[in-house]
Amino acid sequence: MKQIKTYHFKLNPTKAQEQTFAQWLGSCRYVYNLCLDYKKQLYTSHRTSINKNDIQKELSAIAKEIAWIGCVHSQTLQEVTDRLFKTYEGFFKQGKGFPKFAKRNQYRSFTFKQGIKIHQGINSIQLPKIGKVNYRKSQPVEGIIKTASIIKEAVGWYIAICCEAAIIPLSSVENTLGLDVGIKSFLVTSDGVVVDNPKHLYHRQYRLRKAQRAVSRKKKGSNNRKKAVQKLARAHQKVKNARKDFHHKLSTQLIRENQTIITENLQIKNMVKNHKLAKSIADAGWYQFIQMLEYKSKWYGRELIKVAANHTSQDCSVCGWRNKELQLKDRSWTCINGHTLKRDLNAAINIRNKGVGHTPSAWEIYSDSGRVAQESHLL
Ligand SMILES: [Zn+2]
């Protein structure tokens, strides 16, 4: 089985390389807007359309005449038109918005379609027409490199390398695990494990809030405000990176240890409407995490099942009695038959049972996992 895997690395370009990146990015955005304008004009004035091949031919003629467009690698320019036609396709076939002119802060990357080489030993990446660029190696790149995109982030430049690699499924294991979104913690498993957000993430979030306050205190248009805005952007980037790293490690571990993982089919949009939950859901980035579980389960021959979210908190996982009075603030509760339940753990067990499809075995699962003994410590 072959899979596309994307690696993200921070680049450490020289000053000159950074200038080239910025210049190429500007040229690509210009070309994108130019082609969009051209297509629009053709349609409004002549009611005709132009296909991708023809527009690319015209583009290579322009590149020969205009130096600051011609300096960009021809395949990188081609990819700009690929993007434009993809946006058009999204409009016609999927009912997405009509292509818009790209503003400076919206157009943030350009792509190489071939000729990328990685020198793993010396931590540099060879890019066509640009040469060797140093990068911060966090993991080895495996597989055949298909494309590489240079991305401008709030703090510096990053590279996303898409590789095609043969994925070897992991040998199968027995475990089936239910996961519930924790309100205080990141998640709770049906085995009674509570996974908290890592401490360093709290620390970074605290710094982020501080940076946010600093910006609002500074006078608009002042130099100090500019500096504060830059600091805020860096803080945002760091939180984003730290969270992604945490999600990667946790999702890989869960996929390795379990054959089947069952989660709620969360409607993120609906949840964000509920303001009490909004902040914790958005902060926890649950959606990103589920996406990782989803593609990693496919890579490694595991299964991810999503079940309907209704009543998973209200039902007693031991006897099935429904607590209609359960409030969001109730962290633990006792059912009419005297079963004492910890809210998130109870929900995780219900989610697991829904996925497995046989509710009667709830007690078995419950007692098998040794939770009875742990109960006092969990509550
Ligand atoms: Zn009960």
Name every residue whose Cβ is closer than 8 Å to that of residue 77 and which is 6 or more positions away in sequence.
28, 31, 56, 59, 60, 63, 69
Mean pLDDT over the full length of the chain:
86
Query: Domain boundary at 166, 193, 208, which?
Result: 166
pLDDT of the residue at 358: 47
Residue 119: strand pairing partners: 124
Q: How far is the CA of 303 from the centre of ligand 1 (A)?
A: 29
- Looking at per-residue pLDDT, the higher value among 281 and 106 belongs to 106
Whether the pTM exceeds 0.85: the reply is no
The CB density around residue 57, as the number of other CB atoms within 10 Å, is 10
Query: Domain boundary at 277, 307, 337, which?
Result: 307
pLDDT of the residue at 238: 83
Q: Are residues 40 and 93 in the same domain?
A: yes
Q: Is residue 195 part of a domain?
A: yes
Q: How far is the CA of 368 from the centre of ligand 1 (A)?
A: 17
Q: Which of 79, 191, 315, 344 is catalytic?
A: 344
* Average confidence (pLDDT) over 277-282: 57
Q: How far is the CA of 209 from the centre of ligand 1 (A)?
A: 42
Q: Is residue 325 part of a domain?
A: no
Is 180 noted as a catalytic residue in this protein?
A: yes
Q: Which of 79, 191, 264, 315 is catalytic?
A: 264
**Are 207 and 235 spatial neighbours (Cβ–Cβ below 8 Å)?**
yes
Name every residue whose Cβ is closer than 8 Å to that of residue 323 and which is 6 or more positions away in sequence.
314, 315, 316, 333, 335
Q: Are residues 157 and 10 in the same domain?
A: yes
Q: How far is the CA of 363 from the centre of ligand 1 (A)?
A: 10
Q: Is residue 326 part of a domain?
A: no
Q: Are residues 134 and 69 in the same domain?
A: yes
Q: Are residues 103 and 209 in the same domain?
A: no
Confidence of residue 374 (pLDDT cuts 50, 70, 90): very low
Q: How far is the CA of 355 from the centre of ligand 1 (A)?
A: 20
Q: Are residues 122 and 225 in the same domain?
A: no
Those residues whose beta carbon sits under 5 angstroms from the ion ligand 1 are 316, 318-319, 321, 335, 337, 339
**Are 141 and 121 spatial neighbours (Cβ–Cβ below 8 Å)?**
no
Q: Are residues 238 and 99 in the same domain?
A: no
Q: Are residues 301 and 194 in the same domain?
A: yes
Q: How far is the CA of 376 from the centre of ligand 1 (A)?
A: 17
Q: What is the pLDDT of residues 334-359, one digit of tens each?
A: 999 999 999 999 999 999 999 886 44
Q: Are residues 17 and 143 in the same domain?
A: yes
Q: How far is the CA of 318 from the centre of ligand 1 (A)?
A: 5
Lookup: tokens for 31 = 């070309």
Q: Are residues 15 and 74 in the same domain?
A: yes
Q: Which of 79, 180, 191, 315 is catalytic?
A: 180
Identity of the amino acid at 133: V
Confidence of residue 288 (pLDDT cuts 50, 70, 90): confident
Q: Is residue 171 part of a domain?
A: no
Q: How far is the CA of 348 from the centre of ligand 1 (A)?
A: 15
Q: Is residue 369 part of a domain?
A: no
Lookup: tokens for 54 = 């023809």
Q: Are residues 56 and 183 in the same domain?
A: no
Q: Is residue 115 scored above 60 in pLDDT?
A: yes
Lookup: tokens for 236 = 């945002």
Q: Is residue 236 part of a domain?
A: yes
pLDDT of the residue at 145: 94
The residue range of the domain holding 204 is 176-307
Is 364 noted as a catalytic residue in this protein?
A: no
Q: What is the pLDDT of residues 128-177, one digit of tens each?
A: 999 999 999 888 888 899 999 999 988 899 999 999 988 778 888 989 99
Q: Are residues 89 and 184 in the same domain?
A: no
Name every residue whose Cβ is closer than 8 Å to that of residue 192 and which is 6 or more positions away in sequence.
345, 369, 371, 374, 378
Query: Domain boundary at 307, 341, 370, which?
Result: 307
Q: Is residue 184 scored above 80 in pLDDT?
A: no
Number of domains, the chain: 2
Is 54 noted as a catalytic residue in this protein?
A: no
CA distance 11 to 22: 14
Q: Are residues 129 and 255 in the same domain?
A: no
